[in-house]
Amino acid sequence: MIVAVVLIFIVRLFQIQILDTRYRNSADNNALYYRTVYPMRGVIYDRKGQMIVSNQPSFDVVVTMRNVKDLDTLALCSSLDITREFFESRMADIRDRRKNPGYSPYTRQIFLAQLSVSEVSDFKENLYRFAGFDIDRRSIRKYNYDAGAHLLGDLGEVSKSDIEADEYYRQGDFIGKQGVEKYYEPLLRGEKGVEVLLKDAYGRIQGSYRDGEFDELPVSGKNLTLSLDIELQQLGERLMQNKIGSIVAIEPSTGEVLCMVSSPSFAPSELSGRHRGENYQVLASRNDKPLLNRTIQGTYPPGSTFKTSQALTFLQEGIINTRTQYPCSGGFSFRGLHVGCHQHSSPLSLNFAIATSCNGYFCWGYYYMIGDAKYGRPQNALTVWKDYMVDMGFGYTLGIDLPGEARGMIPNSDYYDRHYNGSWNGLTTISNAIGQGEVTLTPLQIANLGATIANRGWYIRPHVVKSIEGQEIDSIYSEKHQVRVDRENYEIVVQGMRQSVIDGTCKAANNKNYLVCGKTGTAQNRGNDHSVFMGFAPMDNPQIAIAVYVENGGFGAVYGVPIGALMMEQYITGGLSPESEAKARMYSERVIDYGEEER
């Protein structure tokens, strides 16, 4: 019996001390403290190597509740420049397991996050007076330019769902919330390290355990080089001051996004640091929605810029050719339906129709296509039409490397069957011909249309990151998407867009140093019309394709064309001439008065 009892004790002790880690972990937790060492987040550069986002030191004030004793609350509040009410509210929130599910009085909890050196200096000097409180070193984003807020994105504290979705995160960690910061979060964040520290019986840190033998160094996040031209971005944001709308520019040969301006905007630094939450609430409450990234989330009628896609479709389907002429006596008039147009000569051919942005010409082309007997019935004809639109990059997301991209709207035959009980034709849906009615695109899709025409029939998926740590990005951003329209038909449309700049609606875009091709748009709206421009330059060696959308700006030539011309000049020549700089100042100072109805 004695031998049996001894054997049982030996087996049990072996289980407890060797096999079962619970007691060892508990003992370790009483003696050791594992401090997380946060990595430096990846730095972000523009296409020319300019550092646009880096890191700067910040500090978290942390508290271990069980160690808080004889606290001089007034002195602590004074050193952190907070009120007694805030202190009590914050301590209550930390203890509230509904708000703070991971709470334990034995573990460190964040009391205040992301304080600057100046904000924490007084507290640090008096830290010995505040038992239970300590400081953890972190970093926050530093923005070297007050531009590109929507594209770059921001960092915010992780939510409960973030923690549940990825075991990397713990309460109090920060994560990319929008833009590049969110899309490339797994690359930018790096890997955490750990520092093993020895505690005494009172929980006080005594120093490093075994001279750091078991410490793990953090791994910094990867650096990103964007396709963004920060100087072009700054000019775009300057030109869009006091206006609502967007500018998107793409390098046609690569699909690289050169600028993405969404207006109104804000300084990226407003959503960084201790006051992020307050600033976010202020921005979110504004009627003009500065947090909305209109470049990829705004869906608009493309207006007459859409006529280029119609011309390509009609040419490819044999509905028209370069000799085809249609009448336009103040617009399209047929069977009691009238779509207005400005005055110009009639009848007219395709080249002149593009140059003058004739509504009548494209309405006739659309009407004849939807009613063409070779398709059998209007539903079949519209399906063919819709397939061309989707092939050109409309109706679905393009797949840009940013979160939240909208798809826009290209109606199909089922849509009209539901709304008209199957009884409709080309006249019923005639607004599609001129980029109105149910058709909506994002500014990114309009710019991509310009890039496709510039390339004479193909595009590469638009993207904002050029390389990661010097390595090229995923191959999906180098594959050509070939539109099923012949190159010769694209050449015809290019000639029409060139004619528009020479003596049509885009005259203000003409430049003596290079050949510009363009197309205006005046998109109808409940309030004032939207001013739109889509173009590219140079004509035969395109370096930039651009879309400008100014809400309630009137005719396309009023705001869209001159702003687009200035942006192209900045990128192609590397700067603005004195004359152009004067124009830039003039347009940046112009204010569009947006009433509540238009907002």
SS (H, E, C) 538-589: CCCCCCEEEEEEECCCCCCCCCHHHHHHHHHHHHHHCCCCHHHHHHHHHHHH
pLDDT at residue number 197: 84
Amino acid 108: pLDDT: 82
What does the pLDDT average to over 275-299?
Answer: 95
Reading the block at residue 172, the tokens are 């109090």
- At 445-501, the pLDDT tens digits run 999 999 999 999 999 999 999 999 877 777 788 899 999 999 999 999 999 999 999
pLDDT of residue 99: 83
**H or E, element range at 490:** helix 487-503
Task: Spell out the residues 6+ positions from residue 554 whose beta carbon is closer than 8 angstroms to its own.
Answer: 522, 528, 529, 531
Number of Cβ atoms within 10 Å of the Cβ of 512: 5
What's the pLDDT at 116? 85
Q: Rounded to the nearest 5 degrees, what angle is found at the Cα of 543, between the Cα atoms of 243 and 310?
A: 70
| Contact indicator for 428, 416 with CB cutoff of 8 Å | yes
**Spatial CA neighbour of 467 closest among 256, 183, 258:** 256
Reply yes or no on whether the pLDDT at 516 is more than 50. Answer: yes
593 contact partners, CB below 8 Å, separation of at least 6: none
* The pLDDT value given to residue 72: 93
Q: Quick check: 23 pLDDT over 60?
A: no
Please identify which residue in the block is written with the tokens 């509904």: 98
Q: What are residue 49's DSSP bridge partners?
A: none
**Sheet strands (E) in 81-200:** 109-115, 133-143, 155-157, 174-176, 193-199
Per-residue model confidence (pLDDT) at position 203: 61
pLDDT 10s digits, 313-345: 999 999 999 999 999 989 999 998 999 998 888
Residue range 31-57: mean pLDDT, rounded:
91
CA distance 187 to 290: 27
Residue 370 has pLDDT above 70, yes or no: yes
pLDDT tens digit string along 553-598? 999 999 999 999 999 999 999 999 999 999 999 999 999 988 655 4
Angle CA 402–406–408, to nearest 5: 145
Q: How confident is the model at residue 25 (pLDDT cuts 50, 70, 90)?
A: very low
| Overall size of the chain counted in residues | 599
Name, in order, each residue with C-beta under 8 angstroms of 438's C-beta and a sequence gap of 6 or more. 409, 411, 415, 429, 431, 432
Tell me if 17 sits within 8 A of 25, measured CB to CB.
no
Nearest partner of 119 among 59, 38, 71, judged by Cα: 59
Amino acid at 419: H
pLDDT category at 223 given cuts 50, 70, 90 is: very high
Read off the pLDDT band of 28 (50, 70, 90). Answer: low
Q: What residue ranges of the chain are covered by domains with CATH 3.40.710.10?
A: 230-466+478-589
Instruction: Write down the pLDDT at residue 29.
Output: 53
Residue 347, preceding peptide bond in cis (omega within 30° of 0): yes
Q: Note the pLDDT of residue 30.
A: 58
Please, which residues bridge with residue 340 across strands? 331
The proportion of the chain whose per-residue pLDDT surpasses 90, expressed as a percent, equals 76
What average pLDDT score do residues 339-353 get? Answer: 92
pLDDT band of 311, cuts 50, 70, 90: very high
- CATH number for the domain whose boundaries are 42-188+214-226: 3.90.1310.10
Domain at 230-466+478-589, CATH homologous superfamily: DD-peptidase/beta-lactamase superfamily (3.40.710.10)
Q: What mean pLDDT is reported for the chain?
A: 92
Phi-psi region of 26 (alpha: psi -120 to 50; beta: other; left: phi over 0): alpha
pLDDT tens digits, 375-390: 999 999 999 999 999 9
Q: What is the DSSP-derived secondary structure letter of residue 219?
A: B
**pLDDT tens digits for range 65-112:** 988 988 999 999 999 999 999 999 999 999 998 888 778 888 888 899
Q: pTM to 2 decimals? A: 0.90
Number of other CB atoms surrounding residue 9 within 10 Å: 10
What sign does the CA torsion over 117, 118, 123, 126 have? positive
Cα separation, 141 vs 207, whole angstroms: 30
Decide the pairing of beta strands 465-468 and 224-226.
Answer: antiparallel
Give residue 21's pLDDT. 54
Radius of gyration of the chain (CA): 31
Between β-strands 133-143 and 51-63, what pairing exists: parallel, antiparallel or unpaired?
antiparallel
